[in-house]
């Protein structure tokens, strides 16, 4: 199955070049140059992943990201020229799964895309896990509290699953970056922080007093005890 | 605050504190000088006035006493002349009567009469009529003058016994002649207590008035000096704040006097300073923004070029040799361009002051190990062996691992590049205040002049040398900024032919000052090993 990838970038040369790289790797790229039309193209093309430039004419990348997130959990990788600005954090907070700083190399890009498209690491200990008062249905890719289903993006699901599958273990941010994001070297730990916040906002009864994703001060995170 | 009696030490410090006040406060100095001078003037005037008043008082009282006594004596003599007595008791009575009338007419109770000695004692003359108060105060000197002076008046200042003490007084003496009895000395005492009281009162008044005047003048001076000093003080404070960087501060302009004009010209100066500084700041901001914008704008096309280059590079196997080599060159130069751009951006971030330290507890030995492992392959390609020696430093120190890793990688890269294929020794150690890492190579080294420039941007020790690792020329400049951001040191020692040693020292506790680095910068005999024949004294150090 060919994965379809939506490239939202106003720089046509770059978009075309990314398209060439993606095609070489066996992906099916779809293009959009304007932020304002990005959502339409997204709806009509139903991509498996979105590459989104942060600075776009029409509607800026963060806004586009927000709107896509409002209706879908499709993985989003931001492309940005500035790694040091608040834009990156804003982009992550609005739901982007990962980001890449220009100029990136093609192998890195493809690796990031594959990590996000890859199904959750197989070999879960069982089909169903319990975290706090939540039930994680591994096979069905679903999280439930009682009968209510909680909608998580694939990344958030992976994050929760990684924590829940080893409830005794404390995960450092670096471990999570490797396991969930596929980084094998030191990367930006803001990715973890922002996505833990987003996950908590969805799964915790009281995000200020988390019971599912617990912070271990100075180390990292671990799953809450089964209720 | 409770008042505490000053300790002896505090008292001992009083003179120095006064001296300090004298030196530092114009107001204190002015008031002190004014008080001193007016005080002296008033003292002299007061003493003169007191003396002249006392003289005047005494003189007039004396004149009065002399007139009074002369009149009384004349009256008494004429009474005596008119009488005709010759028998003993009658003479005594007559003297009593006369003395009583003298007493009555002079309003002085102090009257005494003594018979002039050396007269005919045969006559039954009335005896002396002294008074207890007078007997003791009339001096023999006065008596002698009166005895020999005929009708003349003589006087003497005396201390008349009164109550427990004495009163000032005058005794006036003259002769009386009792017909048929002989000559008598008549003494009349006048008490000057009243005049003395008046004098005391006047002196007290003078003293009080003088003191009040001195205080008043002091207070007036204080107020006036304050009026003058206050604007100066405001101006001084304002210029201090301006110098400290508060560019918006101004002196309030009031009135049209000299201070208002001072304030106006000062404010004018501040205005022009502020506008120039703002202009410079804007320019510098613009420049930094420009560098940052250019770097960012370059990134999108560079991404495209990089992607394109990589696609071509991946297919170089199928190209003719020249094209394949071109693809390789394209690939490496794009990477170099990429690094240059990142370094330029990093430096512009430092210039813009937008760098934040993202510190976390990190083990410097582990970090050095990682870097050494990472660069081992490159080192081996250059024929250098990487040696890590860590006698200390096995604990977590707050640092930004990303930046410190960059520094260490950069130092290692430089050492490998300039190491001439000889070993590169990395040493980590710690002391109570700091952890340090040195990277020592035994390559060609640098001259003292070059050593002073290694941290300069885009500076190259030897322009003709080839750059195998493709450094950007910004590496050490960024490393230095990174070290400074940690309140740490980055220093270099180098000697031509003996190689170089770079030392990074970081505080153990964030923000705490480093007292000494645990590692020595210049090589020691037993330290990291000095190549044969090299002399450490010829080495040069650059501290940053």
CB contact under 8 A, B303 and A14: yes
Select the residue of B301, B311, B401 nearest A20 (Cβ to Cβ): B311
Same domain, B227 and B252: no
3-state DSSP assignment of residue B229: helix
Domain definitions of chain A by residue range: 4-117, 128-223
What is the Cα–Cα distance from B439 to B503, expressed in whole angstroms?
A: 7
In a domain, B6, yes or no: no
Residue contact B307–A102, C-beta within 8 A: no
Asked if the Cβ–Cβ distance from B307 to A105 is below 8 Å, we say: yes
- Name which of A7-11, A119-123, A169-173, B210-214 the model is least confident about: A119-123
Taking the C-alpha atoms of residue B436 and residue A153, their distance in angstroms, rounded to an integer, is 46
Q: Are residues B107 and B177 in the same domain?
A: yes
Nearest CA in chain B to A55: B300
Which band of pLDDT confidence, cut at 50, 70 and 90, is reported for residue A85? low
- Contact of B36 with chain A, judged by CB distance below 8 Å, is answered with no
Query: Are the CB atoms for B348 and B291 separated by under 8 Å?
Result: yes
CATH of the domain at B98: 3.30.450.20
Which CATH number is B452's domain given?
3.30.565.10
Return per-residue pLDDT of chain B as tens, 544 residues: 556 666 677 778 888 888 888 888 888 888 889 889 999 999 999 899 889 988 998 899 889 888 888 888 888 888 888 876 665 567 777 778 888 888 877 767 788 888 887 776 656 667 777 777 777 788 888 888 888 877 788 888 888 877 777 888 888 888 888 777 778 888 888 888 888 888 889 889 989 999 999 999 989 988 988 888 888 888 888 889 988 888 888 888 888 888 888 888 888 988 998 899 889 888 888 887 787 778 778 888 889 999 999 889 988 999 999 999 999 999 998 888 888 888 888 888 888 777 888 788 888 998 999 899 988 988 898 888 899 998 988 888 888 888 899 899 999 998 988 888 889 999 999 988 899 999 999 988 888 888 888 888 887 766 555 555 557 788 899 999 999 999 899 999 988 888 899 999 999 888 788 888 888 888 765 444 433 333 333 445 555 5
Q: Which domain holds residue B254?
A: 247-347
CB contact under 8 Å between B304 and A20, yes or no, is no
Q: Are A77 and A116 in contact (CB under 8 A)?
A: yes
Last residue of a domain, one of B328, B347, B366: B347
Question: In terms of domains, do B128 and B183 share one?
Answer: yes
Query: Which distant-in-sequence residues (6+ apart) come within 8 Å of B278 by Cβ?
Result: B247
DSSP characters over A80-137: ES-SSSHHHHHHHHTT-SEEEESSPPHHHHHHHHHHHHSPSPS--SSSEEEETTEEEE
* Most B CBs within 10 Å, among A12, A81, A111, A185, to test the B interface: A81
Query: Cα angle vertex B379, ends B504, B463, to 5°?
Result: 75
- B305, B311, B361 ranked by CB distance to A24: nearest: B311
CATH no. for A128-223:
1.10.10.10
With CA atoms as reference, report the closest residue to A108 among B306, B162, B299: B306
**Which residues 6+ apart lie within 8 Å of A204 measured at CB?**
A210, A211, A212, A213
What are the E-state strand segments in chain A?
Answer: 4-8, 28-32, 49-53, 76-80, 98-101, 128-131, 134-137, 142-145, 148-150, 171-172, 213-216, 220-223
Q: In Å, how far is B297's CA from the nearest CA of chain A? A: 8
Contact residues, chain A, for B361 at CB < 8 Å: 218
Quote ipTM for the complex: 0.80
- The answer to whether position B2 is within a domain reads no
Measure B403 CA to nearest chain A CA, in Å.
Answer: 12
Q: Are residues B255 and B195 in the same domain?
A: no
Output the CATH code of domain A4-117: 3.40.50.2300
Judged by a CB distance cut-off of 8 A, whether residue B354 touches chain A is: yes
B351 touches chain A (CB under 8 A): no
Other CB atoms within 10 Å distance of the CB of residue A30 = 19
Decide if B307 touches A, using CB distance below 8 A.
Answer: yes
Residue A213 corresponds to which tokens in the numbers above? Answer: 């994703």
Give chain A's length.
227
Residues of chain A contacting residue B304, judged by C-beta atoms under 8 Å apart = 11, 13-14, 17
Asked whether the beta carbons of residue B338 and residue A84 sit closer than 8 angstroms, the reply is no
Our count of domains for chain B comes to 3
Buried b (16+ CB within 10 A) or exposed e, B238-250: beeebeeeebebb
Question: Which of the listed residues B299, B327, B347 is the one where a domain comes to its end?
Answer: B347
Q: Are B84 and B177 members of one domain?
A: yes
Mark which of B189, B219, B244 sits at the end of a domain: B244
Going by the DSSP 8-state scheme, the letter that residue B248 receives in this structure is T
Assigned domain for B506 exists:
yes
**Contacts with A168 (C-beta within 8 Å, 6 or more apart), sequence order:** A222
Residue in A117, A121, A112 with CA at minimum distance from that of residue A185: A112
């Amino acid at each position: 199955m060919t994965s379809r990838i939506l490239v939202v970038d106003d720089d046509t040369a770059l978009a075309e070049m990314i398209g060439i790289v993606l095609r070489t790797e066996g992906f099916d790229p779809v293009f959009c140059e304007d932020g304002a039309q990005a959502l339409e193209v997204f709806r009509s093309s139903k991509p498996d992943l979105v590459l989104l430039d942060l600075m776009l004419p029409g509607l800026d990348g963060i806004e586009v990201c927000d709107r896509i997130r409002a209706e879908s959990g499709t993985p989003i990788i931001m492309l940005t020229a500035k790694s040091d600005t608040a834009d990156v954090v804003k982009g992550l907070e609005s739901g982007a799964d990962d980001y890449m700083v220009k100029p990136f190399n093609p192998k890195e890009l493809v690796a990031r895309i594959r990590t996000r498209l890859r199904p959750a690491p197989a070999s879960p200990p069982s089909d169903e896990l319990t975290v706090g008062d939540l039930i994680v249905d591994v096979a069905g890719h679903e999280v439930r509290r009682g009968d209510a289903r909680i909608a998580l993006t694939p990344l958030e699901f992976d994050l929760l699953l990684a924590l829940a599958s080893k409830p005794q273990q404390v995960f450092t941010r670096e471990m999570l970056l490797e396991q969930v994001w596929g980084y094998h070297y030191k990367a930006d730990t803001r990715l973890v922080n922002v996505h833990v916040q987003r996950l908590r906002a969805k799964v915790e009864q009281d995000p200020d007093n988390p019971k599912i994703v617990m912070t271990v001060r100075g180390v990292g995170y671990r799953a809450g005890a089964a209720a | 605050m409770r008042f505490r009696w000053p300790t002896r030490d505090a008292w001992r410090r009083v003179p120095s504190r006064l001296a300090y006040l004298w030196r530092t406060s114009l107001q204190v100095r002015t008031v002190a000088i004014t008080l001193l001078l007016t005080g002296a003037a008033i003292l002299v005037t007061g003493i003169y006035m007191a003396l002249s008043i006392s003289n005047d008082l005494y003189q007039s009282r004396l004149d009065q006493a002399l007139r009074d006594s002369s009149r009384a004596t004349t009256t008494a003599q004429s009474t005596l002349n008119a009488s005709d007595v010759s028998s003993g008791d009658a003479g005594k009575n007559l003297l009593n009567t006369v003395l009583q009338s003298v007493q009555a007419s002079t309003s002085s109770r102090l009257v005494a009469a003594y018979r002039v000695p050396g007269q005919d004692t045969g006559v039954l003359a009335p005896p002396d009529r002294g008074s207890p108060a007078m007997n003791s105060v009339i001096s023999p000197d006065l008596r002698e003058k009166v005895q020999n002076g005929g009708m003349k008046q003589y006087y003497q200042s005396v201390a008349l016994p009164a109550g427990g003490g004495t009163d000032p007084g005058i005794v006036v003496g003259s002769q009386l002649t009792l017909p048929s009895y002989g000559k008598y000395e008549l003494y009349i005492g006048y008490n000057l207590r009243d005049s003395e009281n008046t004098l005391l009162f006047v002196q007290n008044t003078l003293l009080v008035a003088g003191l009040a005047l001195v205080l008043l003048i002091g207070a007036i001076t204080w107020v006036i000096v304050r009026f003058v000093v206050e604007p100066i003080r405001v101006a001084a404070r304002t210029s201090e704040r301006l110098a400290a960087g508060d560019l918006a501060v101004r002196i309030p302009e009031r009135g049209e006097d000299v201070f208002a004009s001072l304030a106006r010209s000062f404010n004018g100066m501040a205005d022009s300073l502020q506008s120039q500084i703002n202009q410079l700041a804007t320019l510098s901001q613009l420049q930094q923004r420009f560098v940052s914008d250019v770097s960012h704008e370059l990134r999108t096309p560079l991404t495209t070029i990089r992607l394109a280059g990589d696609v071509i590079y991946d297919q170089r196997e199928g190209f003719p040799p020249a094209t394949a080599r071109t693809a390789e060159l394209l690939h490496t130069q794009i990477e170099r361009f990429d690094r240059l751009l990142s370094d330029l951006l990093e430096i512009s971030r430092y210039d813009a002051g937008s760098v934040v330290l993202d510190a976390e507890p990190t083990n410097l030995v582990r970090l050095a190990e990682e870097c050494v492992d990472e660069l081992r392959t490159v080192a081996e390609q250059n024929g250098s062996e990487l040696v890590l020696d860590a006698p200390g430093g096995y604990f977590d120190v707050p640092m930004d691992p990303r930046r410190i890793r960059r520094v260490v990688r950069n130092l290692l890269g430089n050492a490998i590049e300039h190491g001439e294929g000889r070993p590169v020794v990395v040493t980590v150690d710690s002391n109570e205040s700091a952890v340090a890492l040195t990277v020592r190579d035994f390559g060609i080294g640098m001259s003292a002049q070059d050593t002073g420039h290694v941290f300069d941007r885009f500076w190259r020790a030897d322009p003709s040398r080839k750059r195998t690792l493709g450094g950007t020329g910004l590496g050490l400049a960024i490393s230095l900024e990174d070290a400074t951001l940690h309140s740490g040191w980055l220093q270099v020692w180098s000697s031509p032919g003996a190689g170089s040693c770079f030392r990074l020292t970081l505080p153990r506790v964030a923000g705490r000052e480093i007292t000494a680095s645990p590692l020595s910068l210049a090589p020691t005999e037993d330290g990291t090993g000095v190549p044969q024949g090299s002399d450490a004294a010829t080495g040069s150090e650059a501290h940053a």
